[in-house]
């Protein structure tokens, strides 16, 4: 540390412009506004979230994922005929080019599903009929194709990886219902379809989170929208962001195992300065409203699980619900412990993990599912960014040495 300070002083003596005490560093861009948006608003103090001015609670209660997708992209709720047309478009665009299927089949087995998705989206750009048309209309068409194809991509990639046959989408189901069906092989009943739809709505947008920032940075160079979404997926997969849901559920199942182990496990992690995924947030300093919504849904499912109705309904994930503590119980103990001891609240990932697990979604699909939903927000943000673009390019304060003397390799 002392050495670093000395170097900076030396550089200042040399009159280097940027090495200047006036520079304020906002590490991690904490608290920085990089632009204005009309897409979503987070009130981190009061735990509120709005998409295009509508509260998340209202949308979860009354809307569907298709309608929310329309809202986020176009800015207003659709009329009945606009929505019908939009749904039809999503159905028309959901199939994958044969070459993409061949690529999916060629990927190494045991690759994480989110990596498969990232790579496949990048490849998909090569088959887009709008090709190198970068107009807003073409970008919207490309964005809708991406949103429509992601569920098929994830479901097919997962089934290839697990040596199962493809399940063609059914025309009787919504996007959420079909997605569930193509992944798990089980047609959800109306209740499950609705819950799954609500999970997708909850993840659809969240202002300038890390993956959305990546997307906006990429398109701000006037690169294409597929590159924006590919960057975003790569960013989402980290456990500090969308990968948190898979990490916490894997830990609950493989490390914690039963309710009585929750507190000792959490205590040990915190003593070792390790984070507990599914808790904390850069913006919310109270309950994440999405966590509240998903918790209520999970509570309902848990009741069904307790009296044995749930096992009948879900697809077989290989997780034996009969002989262990249900994830809800473990999650609730963890939630109370974290709030009481650290004052840190659950975020959306904790309860989406519990809920998706209860719904029978295989854990490797949790983060891709987040991506499927968030692709809607990414597309809306890419379009907003390009409508009034400014290259996103912050600075880093250099704190290393300058004017070092180059020594020929033979003399080092």
Ligand X SMILES: CC(C)(COP(=O)(O)OP(=O)(O)OC[C@H]1O[C@@H](n2cnc3c(N)ncnc32)[C@H](O)[C@@H]1OP(=O)(O)O)[C@@H](O)C(=O)NCCC(=O)NCCS
343 φ/ψ sector (left φ>0, alpha ψ -120 to 50, else beta): left
Burial of 324 (0-12, 13-18, 19+ CB in 10 A): middle
| Shortest spacing between CB 393 and ligand X, in angstroms | 22
- The smaller minimum CB distance to ligand X, of residues 65 and 279, is found at 279
Which pair of structure tokens corresponds to residue 155?
Answer: 């479901």
Contacts with ligand X, residue ranges (CB under 6 A): 28, 240-241, 244, 275-282, 344, 347-349
Q: Active site includes 241?
A: no
Q: Which of 158, 349, 357, 381 is catalytic?
A: 349
- The smaller minimum CB distance to ligand X, of residues 396 and 409, is found at 396
User: DSSP letter at 364?
Assistant: G
Q: Active site includes 203?
A: no
Distance, in Å, from the CA atom of 384 to the CA atom of 375, rounded to the nearest integer, reads 14
Distance, in Å, from the CA atom of 69 to the CA atom of 343, rounded to the nearest integer, reads 34
| Shortest spacing between CB 202 and ligand X, in angstroms | 11
| Shortest spacing between CB 56 and ligand X, in angstroms | 14
Q: Give the chain's end-to-end CA distance (angstroms, integer).
A: 26
Distance, in Å, from the CA atom of 9 to the CA atom of 80, rounded to the nearest integer, reads 66
| Shortest spacing between CB 66 and ligand X, in angstroms | 24
Return the exposure string of 70-80: e unless at least 16 CB atoms fall within 10 Å of the residue's CB, then b: bbbbeeebbee
| Shortest spacing between CB 212 and ligand X, in angstroms | 12
Q: Taking Cα atoms as reference points, which of 38, 365, 356 lies closest to residue 183?
A: 365
- The smaller minimum CB distance to ligand X, of residues 28 and 129, is found at 28
Distance, in Å, from the CA atom of 44 to the CA atom of 282, rounded to the nearest integer, reads 9
Instruction: Name the strands in the sheet holding 54-55, side by side, starting at the edge strand that comes first in the sequence.
Output: 40-43, 48-51, 54-55
| Shortest spacing between CB 329 and ligand X, in angstroms | 20
Specify whether the CB–CB gap between 279 and 350 falls below 8 A.
yes
Q: Which of 158, 206, 281, 381 is catalytic?
A: 281
Distance, in Å, from the CA atom of 261 to the CA atom of 187, rounded to the nearest integer, reads 35
Q: Which residue is nearest to ligand X (CB)?
A: 280
Distance, in Å, from the CA atom of 202 to the CA atom of 373, rounded to the nearest integer, reads 8
In degrees and rounded to multiples of 5, residue 279 shows phi and psi of -130, 150
Q: Which residues are catalytic?
A: 281, 349
């Amino acid at each position: 540390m002392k050495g670093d300070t000395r170097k900076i002083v030396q550089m200042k003596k040399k009159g280097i412009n940027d090495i200047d005490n006036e520079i304020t560093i906002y590490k991690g861009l904490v608290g920085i506004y990089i632009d204005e948006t009309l897409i979503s608003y987070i009130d981190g103090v009061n735990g509120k979230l709005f998409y295009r001015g509508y509260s998340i609670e209202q949308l979860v209660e009354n809307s569907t994922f298709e309608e929310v997708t329309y809202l986020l992209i176009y800015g207003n709720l659709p009329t009945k005929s606009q929505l019908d047309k939009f749904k039809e478009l999503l159905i028309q665009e959901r199939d994958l080019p044969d070459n993409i299927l061949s690529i999916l089949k060629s990927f190494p087995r045991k690759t994480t599903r989110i990596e498969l998705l990232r790579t496949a989206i990048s490849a998909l750009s090569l088959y887009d009929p709008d090709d190198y048309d970068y107009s807003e209309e073409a970008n919207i068409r490309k964005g809708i194709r991406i949103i429509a194809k992601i569920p098929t991509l994830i479901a097919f990639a997962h089934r290839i990886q697990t040596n199962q046959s493809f399940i063609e989408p059914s025309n009787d189901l919504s996007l959420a219902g079909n997605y569930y069906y193509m992944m798990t092989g089980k047609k959800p009943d109306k209740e499950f379809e609705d819950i799954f739809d609500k999970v997708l709505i909850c993840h659809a947008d969240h202002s300038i989170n890390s993956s959305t920032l990546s997307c906006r940075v990429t398109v701000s160079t006037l690169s294409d929208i597929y590159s924006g979404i590919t960057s975003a997926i790569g960013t989402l997969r980290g456990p500090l962001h969308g990968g948190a849901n898979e990490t916490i559920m894997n830990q609950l199942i493989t490390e914690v195992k039963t309710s009585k182990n929750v507190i000792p496990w959490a205590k040990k992690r915190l003593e070792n300065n390790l984070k507990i995924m599914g808790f904390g947030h850069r913006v919310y300093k109270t309950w994440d409203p999405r966590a509240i919504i998903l918790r209520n849904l999970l509570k309902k499912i848990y009741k069904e699980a307790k009296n044995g109705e749930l096992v009948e309904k879900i697809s077989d994930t290989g997780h034996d619900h009969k002989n262990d503590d249900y994830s809800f119980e473990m999650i609730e103990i963890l939630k109370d412990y974290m709030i009481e001891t650290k004052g840190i609240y659950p975020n959306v990932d904790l309860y989406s993990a519990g809920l998706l697990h209860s719904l029978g979604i295989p854990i490797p699909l949790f983060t891709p599912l987040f991506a499927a939903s968030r692709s809607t927000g990414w597309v809306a943000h890419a379009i907003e960014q390009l409508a009034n673009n400014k290259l996103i390019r912050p600075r880093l304060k250099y704190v290393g040495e300058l004017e070092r003397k180059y020594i020929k390799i033979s003399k080092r």
